[in-house]
Amino acid sequence: MKLVNGGDTTVVDAYLSPILRRYVDGVAAALAGISADATKLEFMKSDGGLLTVTDCNVLVGKIQPAFFPQVFGTEGNLPIDLEIVRSKFAQLTTGFVAIAIDKMAKAIAKISVQRGYDASEYTLCCFVGAGGQHACAIAESLGMSQIFIHPYAGVLSAYGIGLADVRVLKERAVEALLTEETLPNLEQILAALTIASQAEIIAQGTSEDRLEVVYKAHLRYEGTDSTLTIEFGSVEQMRSRFDLAYLQRYSFTMLDKALIVESVPVEAIGHANAIAEPVLTAHRTTPCLPVATVPVYTHGDWHQTPVYQRAEMPPNSTHIDEEGILLDNFKLVDRGHFRESELLEILGSGNYPVRNPAQNLADLQAQIAANERGVRELHRTIEHYGLATVQTYMQHVRNNAAESVRRAISVLQDGSYTYIMDDGTEICVNITIDRTQRSARIDFTGTSPQQPT
């Protein structure tokens, strides 16, 4: 007979009865005579061990401790400890809530912190029915100290939908050069899209006097993939608007390139009727008083928490030339203009010209745009926090990087390696770790001399 030690579980299985208890006691007594050190049978105890399915039944009331055999504890005479069951489940559910909080906080960080906004300087807007359950934990996770709860927070989404404008967006692909000759065709397409979109809006109950139509164009430079949406107008107007938007986005323009109309969208808007909303003013002069105090499990413990009424609280190269084109102090952007033709001439020169110049151009343009974005964000940070603060924190970053490397070095071991090249030459390296100074000495003694090719 195999006996299973169940001493680490919280409660006894529901099928255990005094009859079974007497049976197992008899077996245990018989086994006890075999050896003084023999393993004794241990009943499942209500001692704060692992949760079981039976605990679930205790929590939901299907098992009532007052009417269940008192066979727990070291003496086997104690009832099920309901408080332990409740505490264990509270810990379990807190873990699930923590995961949910982390997911919601990361979603907010994605549209704020990752875009350069310091969430701690903002107020968290709490809405929808479950918003109040998580607002404090989310605010704490994001370093926010203030929460705004709208009077209609529980139904704010539905309330907003009821007040929102009705919109219909229709679009048609064009893929044509932007010229005076193509403009009439674009206007015909927009007219057809307007009729269709307006009819759809009116079918939803919007009167014609509340209709608005917005015309746009998705444009891009010929030979590029990045489109920008600008307001539709004359050829000259659209060209000017696109160049300005492109300069703002990428910090350069390509005025010698033609524009391609990728598509034209029409948005019909049926404006909702405005309603008068009351302006709520604070009139309380004394602190809010709680209507009750209840136990709440948070931060790993139970707390007595006041309750307030909502209305009451606010590989193979042998020469360097084979590795690519050498650019020696080439000016890539001159007074806001991307020097594409000059760059293409260089990229196509020499014995080993580039294989995909279009890709090289796109990569360089992306790097320029990224640098421009970085410059703007750095200026914005300095304006907000001051130059001295930014320089101080940049030094903190460098110091932290140095410390991180030294910590990594301190756990390394001395080592050496030799790499034999295809022509028989060798690269030798010996690394000696100084744990006291948390530094490393890298020695290339034994490496073959530099080769001519």
β 211-221/147-149 pair status: unpaired
Give the predicted TM-score (pTM) of the model. 0.54
Cα–Cα distances (Å) from 174 to 15, 84, 169, 266, in that order, read 75, 69, 16, 13
**Site of tokens 């009139």:** 283
From start to end of 178-308, where are the E strands? Answer: 211-221, 228-231, 259-270, 292-298, 301-307
Residue type at 123 in one-letter notation: T
Residue 255: CA atoms inside 13 Å, Cβ hemisphere, count? 10
Residue type at 129 in one-letter notation: G
- pLDDT given for residue 58 in this prediction: 83
Among 231, 160, 165, smallest CA distance to 201 is for 165
Both tokens of 349, joined, read 């020169």
- pLDDT given for residue 17 in this prediction: 52
- pLDDT given for residue 302 in this prediction: 79
Which residues does 158 contact at the CB level (< 8 Å), separation at least 6? none
**CA–CA separation, 388 vs 400, rounded Å?**
18
User: What is the per-residue DSSP string for 166-213?
Assistant: EEEEEEEEEEEE-STTTHHHHHHHHHHHHHHHHHHHHTTT--GGGEEE
User: What is the per-residue DSSP string for 120-132?
Assistant: GGSPEEE-STTHH
Contact at 8 Å (CB) between 232 and 238? yes
- pLDDT given for residue 239 in this prediction: 96
Q: Which residues of the chain carry a pLDDT beneath 50?
A: 1-16, 34-46, 312-314
**CA–CA separation, 163 vs 322, rounded Å?**
65
Phi, psi of 35 (to 5 degrees): -155, 145
